[in-house]
Amino acid sequence: MPTKRAYQFRFYPDLQQEKLLAQTFGCVRYVYNSILRYRTDAYDQTQEKVSYLGANARLTAIKQWPESGRTLFRVLLV
């Protein structure tokens, strides 16, 4: 029987890393909530679900926004 292993890591970021992590997670949260709001509004208006391709097209549109800064653009690359 194969043995299952688990690893735990502890991360102690310095101040600069903490700031970058907070900014990155904030951008991820913004993108997720934006797509969720887009899908929810589309369903409320037309009673049709937005497909994965439709949500992906919305992400492409978000990349074109002028306020999408360096960190947001890096988050959208993934």
Domain segments of the chain: what residues? 16-77
| pLDDT exceeds cutoff 80 at 49 | yes
Mean pLDDT of 46-74: 76
Alpha helix (H) residue ranges in the chain: 15-46, 52-63, 70-77
Query: At 66, is the secondary structure helix, strand, or coil?
Result: coil
Mean pLDDT of 36-50: 89
| pLDDT exceeds cutoff 90 at 55 | no
Distance (Å, rounded) from C-alpha 42 to C-alpha 29? 20
- Model-level pTM? 0.69
Distance (Å, rounded) from C-alpha 23 to C-alpha 17? 10
CB 52 within 8 A of CB 24: no
